[in-house]
Amino acid sequence: MNIADSLGHSATALGDRIAIYHGKAPYLSWRDLERRTQKLAAAMQQLGISQGDCVGLAMGNCPQFVEILYACWRLGAIAVPMNAKGHASDFQYMLEHSGARVCFVTADLADTLRQATAAAGAAVKLLAVGSPEVSASIEDADENTLPATPQDAALPAWLFYTSGTTGRPKGATLSHRNLLAMADCYFCDVDEVSDRDNLVHAAPMSHGSGLYIIPHVIKGASQVVPLSGKFKEDELLELVDHFQHCTLFAAPTMLQRLLANPSTGSLPGLKTLVLGGGPLYVQDCLSALQKFGPKLAQIYGQGETPMTITAMNKQQMYQAFENNALDFLGSVGKPFRDVEVAVIGADGTPLPAGESGEIVVRGDTVMSGYWHNEGASAETLRNGWLHTGDIGCFDSDNVLTLKDRSKDLIISGGTNIYPREVEEVLLQHTAVREACVLGITDALWGESVAAALVPQPGAAIDTADIDRFCQDHLARFKRPKHYRVLDELPKTATGKVLKAKVRAVFQ
């Protein structure tokens, strides 16, 4: 009923075994993690934090992130993790919007948060993570003063702010029930977890990687936080080799960097690499499966139904690789067994296999709504379904292929063009490392196709050659009419391409 209870169960079962590592060094045992969480919850209570209050987490990846999450849930408070790459105005907005009066801050974000709180309308107390003052307040706190752990599964647990690629981010309100159902979905349809496993946090803990803490704590798997707190290929490779039985969540752009790193071998210490947060292109998928073997899984989800719409597990992906089933590898798999997924037309009725429409979802993983935003909640949650804004189609085997975000669909001369289809072709060219396809205003056609390309290391992109390549592999109306070669694509902290910034390059 409360996620914090699972930490207590693991602490009882595993005692002095290590729960969290910082780099290769032990940070806390399970017993000490449970004790620290209780004392931190008591210290937060002394600051006036109680059930239903929001607590900001303006933090880069660090071992204390786990303690603070579970201390919030022990009190019945709501954790509000925030993108560490945000601007001061982003932090100001999220603190004001959530109503958080306390915010934990890592040293690298201290100046930014001081600027943000100075501009905030309400006073927000900043707590410096790892500082002597905060550490002393935790040790001095009396955990015996804590009330019983709240047992209402409908209580909000995590305010998941969307990446905000267009406009202000919205706070998806995720309850204990949502997150525990998410964990069950992971166990059933993605991967088994045991107390031998190690979850390595190479991606931001404020978003994708942080969600994976929950199923791994339930099963007693250790958390490994890189010393750098960031995704650095060589450091990650060293940790995977050291710990063995390692699982990590990665955005497809992180996979591309791993594959491009000359030090990356077959990764015998890797157990599972879960990919999500953006389109996984077939060519990258093939390269990774050939290099790593049956260790890749893929999840399609959103913050509004975290990592739980469809999935393909390791066995399914590798079997498709062996059978050269490229259509399956280009899909996002089948719906989780505990959620309902449909593809609907403009009138809201389900579409048959092969027809594209909006993807909708319902089940225990779906958020209750957006925090303090009734209008957006009503628009997104209609007739009992979460409307994802994504376009896709099912095949006759109930495999879902994701076409694109509805807002990213290009309509040129009245014809629909899906950017991902064009990107898949561009990425087959040996000189292209990354591609971003979008529509730009065209006086004649309404929109025309534009492609921003990042070259492979040491390669040069000849756009005339790329255009000839597209002639051989794409229908004429789908070919890009405009090209730009960039050193890199602008991305969010979770690896999603910021198409508005790419579009600005063409404009």
Q: What is the pLDDT of residues 168-213, one digit of tens each?
A: 789 999 999 999 999 999 999 999 999 999 999 999 999 889 999 9
d(CA 409, CA 247): 34
Per-residue model confidence (pLDDT) at position 176: 98
Per-residue model confidence (pLDDT) at position 165: 44
Per-residue model confidence (pLDDT) at position 385: 97
What does the angle CA 223 – CA 258 – CA 20 come to, to the nearest 5 degrees? 10
d(CA 387, CA 360): 5
Cβ–Cβ under 8 Å, residues 314 and 288? no
Which segments of 244-277 does DSSP mark as H helices, in order?
Answer: 252-260
Q: Is the dihedral of CA 489, 491, 497, 498 positive or negative?
A: negative
Per-residue model confidence (pLDDT) at position 280: 85
Show the domains of the chain with their CATH numbers: 3-319 (3.40.50.12780), 339-405 (2.30.38.10), 409-506 (3.30.300.30)
Q: What is the pLDDT of residues 93-147, one digit of tens each?
A: 999 999 999 999 999 999 999 999 988 766 899 999 999 999 999 999 999 999 9
Per-residue model confidence (pLDDT) at position 494: 66
What pTM did the predictor assign? 0.86
Cα 431–chain centre separation: 29
Which segments of 129-202 does DSSP mark as H helices, in order?
Answer: 132-140, 176-189
494 contacts: CB under 8 Å, gap ≥ 6: 83, 163, 203, 204, 207, 208, 251, 277, 278
Per-residue model confidence (pLDDT) at position 167: 58
Per-residue model confidence (pLDDT) at position 436: 94
What is the DSSP code (8-state) at residue 438? E
Per-residue model confidence (pLDDT) at position 130: 92
pLDDT above 90 as % of the chain? 81
Burial code of 152-179, b = ≥16 C-beta within 10 A, e = fewer?
ebebbbbbbbbbbbeeebbbbbbbbbbb
Per-residue model confidence (pLDDT) at position 493: 66
> Which amino acid, 218?
I
Per-residue model confidence (pLDDT) at position 413: 73
Regions of the chain short of the pLDDT cut 50:
165-166
Structure tokens at 213: 């803490």
Q: What is the pLDDT of residues 443-471, one digit of tens each?
A: 778 789 999 999 999 999 999 999 999 99
Per-residue model confidence (pLDDT) at position 166: 46
